[in-house]
Every structure is written in C-alpha cells, then in structure tokens.
Amino acid sequence: MCNTELLSLLGRDKLIAICRGAEGETLLRLAAAIRDGGIRFIEVTFQQEREDCAGLAQRNIKALCGLPGIIPGAGTVLSAAQVRAAYEAGAKYIVSPNTDPAVIAEARRLGLISIPGALTPSEIMAAHNAGADLVKLFPAAAMGLKYFKDLRAPLSHIGLVVTAGVTLDNLGDYLKAGAFAAGISSPLCNKELIAAGGFDEITRRARAFCRIASPSVSA
C-alpha cells in the first residue's frame, strides 16, 4: 500500500493508537484488543530511556507486523538512525514529538509517512515546509480546543493530528474542528487495565473511539 493510500485510509479511520511501554506478549495482546475494537493504525514508541531502545522498538514493530489487520508505525522517533531502524522492522509511518528536518528527510527518503510534532504556528509551518505529510499537534489538550481552532484558521491546508489528552469526551470536538486524525494513548494503553488483564475493556474503549471517529462505519 502506497503512502497516498495509507494517508487516505488514516483520513477515513481518524485514529492512531499509541502503545507506549508495552512489549512482547503484552504488546501483542494489547494490539490485538485495540484492533478488535476497530483501530488499525497502531504506533509503537521508541523508549528513549532504554539502552536497547532501537533493538526493542524493532522487535516490537516486527511483532506487530505479524498481526493481521494492523498498520504498524513508530513513535517518539528522534533521529535518522531510528527512522532506519523502524523502517527495517516494517513500520509504515514515523511519528515524533518534535520537528527535526533530518528525521523528516530520512522518512521521506525511505518512503515512510512523516508525522513530526509541533505546537506553535511557526513550528507547524517549519514541519510542513520540511516535507512532513502531516503534523502532530503536541500536546494538544494542554492547549485546549480554542487554541486548535485558532491554529486551523490560517493553517487549514496542513493536516493536523491532535495528540496527548485526547479522550472520548473531546475527540468529537477536535474532529469537528478539522483535525485530520487523533493519537490516542492512555485511554487505550492503560497500565492498570493491562496489568489486570482487562483487554475486553480496551476493545470496548477502542470501539467507542471508532464510533465517534467514523459513526457511519461503526454504527
């Protein structure tokens, strides 16, 4: 599937599930639960505090590639070397908390979708001008819906993916205000639920997000 098709699919699905900190069998159970709830785009983050950061991310991304119905991506990608590691493992898109032209360039060179993070109008434009396919507005909820609407007015030509603090209560508002998509983290990758084996609840939550994101499809 080419980037144009993937972007079109994400534009319809509207959701990226962010699996931060999960690995091994736990990650597979979590990803399967999220997929069963209807979310196909699942992002595995690089755990930058780990000495084996790149190797761990590669193993996790490769594991996701073995699950049918999932479109795997890499998050918290901070260097061109990490872009290459993600690509070699099978990631289809690269997500970062910041804008680094070298990361964007390497993602594009390898044919991956580039989604760098930005907060201010200047940062968003810098990411867009550097070749980003989409820009992650991060942290979105800390700034609030009005801030997002104010950004959208002059920057409506740039697809924004709202991330951090997106919940069932505010997702619909962001999408109505023009968000291209949303990154969902703690409501799905919930440490307490995972520890308790509450994967059915995670599936239920994923399905609830899908009903908001694509009501005509999820009804």
Alpha-carbon span 152 to 136, nearest angstrom: 13
Predicted confidence at residue 21, as pLDDT, reads: 85
Q: Closest Cα partner for 106 from 91, 125, 121?
A: 91
Please say if 5 is a catalytic residue: no
**pLDDT-derived band of residue 46, with 50, 70 and 90 as boundaries?**
very high
Predicted confidence at residue 216, as pLDDT, reads: 63
Reply yes or no on whether the pLDDT at 218 is more than 70: no
Q: Which residues pair with residue 42 across a beta bridge?
A: 17, 72
How many Cα atoms within 13 Å fall on the side-chain side of residue 118? 27
Say which of 14, 92, 106, 136 is annotated catalytic. Answer: 136
Mean pLDDT of the chain: 95
Q: Closest Cα partner for 138 from 147, 129, 213, 130?
A: 147
Mean pLDDT of all residues in 171-192: 96
Measured in whole angstroms, the distance separating CA 95 from the mean position of its chain's CA atoms is 7
Predicted confidence at residue 2, as pLDDT, reads: 81
Alpha-carbon span 58 to 53, nearest angstrom: 9
Say which of 14, 43, 92, 106 is annotated catalytic. Answer: 43
Q: How is the chain classified by DSSP, letter by letter?
A: --HHHHHHHHHHH-EEEEE-S--HHHHHHHHHHHHHTT--EEEEEP-TTSTTHHHHHHHHHHHHHTSTT-EEEEES--SHHHHHHHHHHT-SEEE-SS--HHHHHHHHHTT-EEE-EE-SHHHHHHHHHTT-SSEEETTHHHH-HHHHHHHHTT-TTS-EEEESS--TTTHHHHHHTT-SEEEE-TTTS-HHHHHTT-HHHHHHHHHHHHHHH-HHHH-
Please say if 88 is a catalytic residue: no
Q: Closest Cα partner for 185 from 13, 19, 14?
A: 19
**pLDDT-derived band of residue 138, with 50, 70 and 90 as boundaries?**
very high
Mean pLDDT of all residues in 103-123: 98
How many Cα atoms within 13 Å fall on the side-chain side of residue 129? 7
Phi, psi dihedrals of residue 43, rounded to the nearest 5°: -105, 125
Q: Closest Cα partner for 100 from 136, 143, 49, 140?
A: 136
**pLDDT-derived band of residue 30, with 50, 70 and 90 as boundaries?**
very high
**pLDDT-derived band of residue 219, with 50, 70 and 90 as boundaries?**
very low
12-23 pLDDT tens trace = 999 999 999 888
Mean pLDDT of all residues in 30-46: 97
Predicted confidence at residue 217, as pLDDT, reads: 54
Cα torsion angle, 70, 207, 212, 143, sign: negative
